[in-house]
Structure 1
Amino acid sequence: MDGQFRSFGPDSEELLLLQTRVDAQYKMGDLVLGGEIMDARAYSTADNSTLRQAEVNALEPLQYWAQYDLGDGLGEGTNTTLKLGQQRMLLGSARLINNPLFRNTANTYLGLRGDIKRGNTDGLTAFYMLPTRILPDDIEGYYDNRIEIDRNGFDLQLAGAFYHRKVADLNLELYAYYLGERDSSGFQTRDRRLLTPGMRIYREPKRGKLDFELEGILQRGKARRTAPATDLVDKDVRAFYLYGELGYRLDNAIGPRFAVSATYGSGQDESDKITRFDQLFGAIFPDYAPPGLYGPTTLSNVSSFGADVIWTPGKWTIWNTFRRLRAPEPNDVFGRTGIRNGPNGEVGDQFFLRARYPLSPKVLFEVGGALLLKGDFLKEAPGVISRDDTRYIYSDLTFVF
């Protein structure tokens, strides 16, 4: 990547990312035991690399869990499972609770999850978790790929419920999550106590038919503006995120799907309240572009208009996306850039291409790239490293063994 969009790091950088995962499951009747070890390492060409927790988590016991199937123990026509231990978790659109697929490291959670399903139409998930803090969390640790076991503690708690109902070809999701956070030894926080309810309705893409997705998320609670222990003032939280998409898939051999989308995530305004949306443990991809070396956007202080084309010529799957990006609050930080106080909110135009091809049943090849044509916000704001447009390219090989 060159034409750095951040307020830190080199103007140009290359990364080599390696991820090895080994997982196993053992079933004994209604009981299933599972575990996964992951080794995620990164090597950079730059002394002042942008390496962070998204790239490095060496030799980590990522998952260890036990799942028990209660069958119809909670009523005829239902199926209930309980899962205890450290586990991955992805709910709904993944905008708040995510199991990253592109990022080199993963989110995991230690706790108890229960799933109740009734036929193919209704499902309820309830959980209480201690989200995992990925370690190491210091620059030297990232550079050295230091092996350090991740941490869970009662200073960071996540609980919630997620309900899904299918009616004909429509899907409805209702959910509410609560995040509780407090300072711990050696780790200062903003003491977030956030209630995040939301609703999503969508129709899945099908050939020859219109599809759509609408999601609205509110955020209420208390938090502090900064993490240092000297900040003892709790502020009211009033934030939100909106997503809308309309698509159509042609009914032919390569089945291209065309879609337009719009998003809005609140930023910090001039009021005394905290109005910057917190995406909890959510994903920015595929709403915007994948994280890691690139990925300037988060779900905070962002508005966008976009257009997508996805098509499948032969064994290829190709994604083309465009996003017109703005910062609704120019004085607030935009995404992962570290840049704020722009002359206006015009962040720029982002073009992203991704193509995937199976070289064999055990080998998957992917290549992609992005071009960010910077607007005034990323060219004229204080702290800008480069005014040049950002260019990014990657390739990826996945071997299954």
Structure 2
Amino acid sequence: MSAIRSGLKRGTRFGSYLAAVAGVPALAGAQSLPASPASSTEKPGKEETAPKKDDSGLIITAAIRARYETVDGRPRPGFATSEDAFLLRTGVAVEYGPGPLAIGAEVVDSRAYGLGGGTQINNGDVNAVEVPQAYVKLRLDHGIGPVGKVSVEGGRFLMNLGSGRLVATDEYRNTVNGFTGLRVDLAPTSALEVTAFYVLPQERLPDQPSDIRRNLVRFDRETFHTVFFGAYLRQKSVLGIGQLELAYYRLAEHDSPGRTTADRRLHTFDARFARDAKSGTYDYDVEGIYQTGHASDGTTATATAADVSAGFFHAAAGYSFAGPLKPRVGLFYDFASGNGQGTTSHRFDTLYGSRRDDLGPSGTYAALARENISAPGIRFEAKPGTRFEALADYRGIWLASRYDRFYTVIDKTGASGRFGGQQVEGRLRYWLVPQHLRLESNFAVLFKGRFLRDAPQAIARDQSTVKFIETNLQVTF
């Protein structure tokens, strides 16, 4: 217990992720950056949110987040037009690694209460008593020969790669994307990073609506029926202070006992060029993704398989002004292809990506997905001091294809047009106790366009808007 108290006193960083480790010999160190949204307050896996090295090699973090949200006017067929939900996420994470070798684990308990029969909440929001992380990691600060720093991780873990649009742990969402397998990170130079991985995505269980509403405890599983592997490269200091990212991901899945899939066999090629926002300078983020392979149009036995040719494009540029408010103003555009009337599938698949940063809140709202959209907009951000943050953006939304779905509504005739609507959304954060206790609220209003008003499948067509607001309180210790 004295070692634990010592580790907590010297090494636990309030408001950070589960961390790694350790007192480092001259040649190696085991400190790592595992993504742990259960004990996080910012984007997972970032250097600035990683805990500091601790002489004892033991770090324990924990967090509890309670969130209440309400939505009204949803057009999604098969679900209630309005809903209230209370979600609770509790996480405890520990890692021990006094030298180059570290072991770690995390328990995350994600639950929802007050759900009705027409709830939109699913196992993307509910996963009671789960162990998404249980791993061993070796990290050498001075590798062998030209490879530089080396990190090898095996077991169950979370991942964040690049922009997070394809592989991420969504801090906003109530559950995590867990993977089981092997990951290798190399840093031949201070400006070059390479990651390769071979994993089995963890299947969140239970997946039956009645079990989800009861917060039934059933441990997740992984099988070789779904395999995900790939490589990611990041080169810093390109054309000044920009960074170039290149990635390839392969997803191969097929049905397994008790679980049907869309039999996706996807190759995904990703390229991104970005510059981080800093006071008094401009920033940019340009990412293009191409996807090929084949997949079925559903998970039923009668679903039709098709060749896939799909794409995604994101472009953003902004300027951060100096001054006490630290304001940033930026323009952005998101395009994700959708299915047409041909036999080839053009619907883009975001794989294991995060939604919140680009598209707005998920949960009971979840209006925009990274599929079948053409959506330009403008964003404002401010961060005066260390306690308060504000974000607000506006965008117009058109369907990339009038024949594919938006908000899961489809008009296969195309007669409802391409205008999905206009979305205003934002977020306010305030640290009641810096790094310990944070109050946050997310909101969104979707002004329905012609498509959501006219499409025969859409419900709540007499309501002109979808309104959403949530408030959450997170304590980290």
Q: Deviations over 1:107-128 (max 9, x none)?
A: 0100000000134200000000
How far apart are residue 230 of structure 1 and its match? 4.2
Name the SS for the 1:287 alignment partner. helix
**Equivalent residue for 2:456, pick from 374, 382, 385:** 382
**Equivalent residue for 1:150, pick from 208, 220, 232:** 220
Q: Which amino acid aligns with 1:311?
A: A
How far apart are residue 234 of structure 1 and its match? 4.2
Q: 1:218-257, aligned counterparts within 5 Å?
A: 218-231=290-303, 234-257=305-328
Aligned to 2:388: 316
User: Matches of 2:345 and 2:429 in 1, distance apart?
Assistant: 41
Aligned to 2:473: 397
Q: Which moved more, 1:146-155 or 1:8-17?
A: 8-17
**Equivalent residue for 2:279, pick from 189, 207, 219:** 207
Aligned to 2:90: 20
Specify whether residues 48 and 228 from structure 1 end up closer, same or farther in structure 2 by C-alpha distance, changes over 3 A only: closer
Name the SS for the 2:97 alignment partner. strand
User: Matches of 2:144 and 2:374 in 1, distance apart?
Assistant: 44
How far apart are residue 206 of structure 1 and its match? 1.4
How far apart are residue 201 of structure 1 and its match? 0.1
Question: 2:132–2:179: 8 Å Cα contact kept in structure 1?
Answer: no
**Equivalent residue for 1:78, pick from 134, 144, 148:** 148
How far apart are residue 45 of structure 1 and its match? 5.0
Specify whether residues 238 and 52 from structure 1 end up closer, same or farther in structure 2 by C-alpha distance, changes over 3 A only: same
Q: Deviations over 1:145-169 (max 9, x none)?
A: 0101011000000000000001230
Q: 1:1-400, aligned counterparts within 5 Å?
A: 1-44=71-114, 46-76=116-146, 78-167=148-237, 168-231=240-303, 234-314=305-385, 315-334=387-406, 337-341=407-411, 343-361=416-434, 362-387=436-461, 388=463, 389-400=465-476
Q: Deviations over 1:63-103 (max 9, x none)?
A: 10000124433325710010001111010011110101000
Q: Deviations over 1:218-255 (max 9, x none)?
A: 00112223323345x64221100000001001111211
User: Matches of 2:249 and 2:404 in 1, distance apart?
Assistant: 25
Name the SS for the 1:142 alignment partner. helix
Q: Which moved more, 1:286-295 or 1:170-179?
A: 286-295
User: Matches of 2:302 and 2:427 in 1, distance apart?
Assistant: 45
User: Matches of 1:230 and 1:338 in 2, distance apart?
Assistant: 19
Specify whether residues 102 and 31 from structure 1 end up closer, same or farther in structure 2 by C-alpha distance, changes over 3 A only: same
How far apart are residue 352 of structure 1 and its match? 0.6
Q: Which amino acid aligns with 1:33?
A: I
Question: 2:232–2:246: 8 Å Cα contact kept in structure 1?
Answer: yes
Q: Deviations over 1:185-235 (max 9, x none)?
A: 12122211111011000111111211111000000112223323345x642
Q: Which amino acid aligns with 1:351?
A: V
Consecutive aligned runs of 4 or more in structure 1 exceeding 4 Å deviation: none
Gaps in structure 2 of 5+ consecutive residues: 1-70
Question: 2:361–2:444: 8 Å Cα contact kept in structure 1?
Answer: no
User: Matches of 1:43 and 1:62 in 2, distance apart?
Assistant: 22
CA RMSD between the two structures: 1.4
How far apart are residue 304 of structure 1 and its match? 0.1
Question: 2:428–2:441: 8 Å Cα contact kept in structure 1?
Answer: yes
Name the SS for the 2:357 alignment partner. coil
User: Matches of 1:192 and 1:264 in 2, distance apart?
Assistant: 22
| TM-score, normalised with respect to structure 1 | 0.96
Name the SS for the 1:286 alignment partner. helix
> How many pairs were matched up?
398
Specify whether residues 10 and 223 from structure 1 end up closer, same or farther in structure 2 by C-alpha distance, changes over 3 A only: closer
Question: 2:147–2:186: 8 Å Cα contact kept in structure 1?
Answer: no
User: Matches of 1:5 and 1:307 in 2, distance apart?
Assistant: 25
User: Matches of 1:62 and 1:76 in 2, distance apart?
Assistant: 33
Q: Which moved more, 1:14-23 or 1:216-225?
A: 216-225
Specify whether residues 246 and 30 from structure 1 end up closer, same or farther in structure 2 by C-alpha distance, changes over 3 A only: same
Name the SS for the 2:210 alignment partner. helix
User: Matches of 1:383 and 1:53 in 2, distance apart?
Assistant: 24
User: Matches of 1:251 and 1:312 in 2, distance apart?
Assistant: 11
User: Matches of 1:122 and 1:5 in 2, distance apart?
Assistant: 46
Gaps in structure 1 of 5+ consecutive residues: none
Identity percentage of aligned residues: 33
User: Matches of 1:164 and 1:239 in 2, distance apart?
Assistant: 24
Structure in which a larger fraction of residues adopt helix: 2
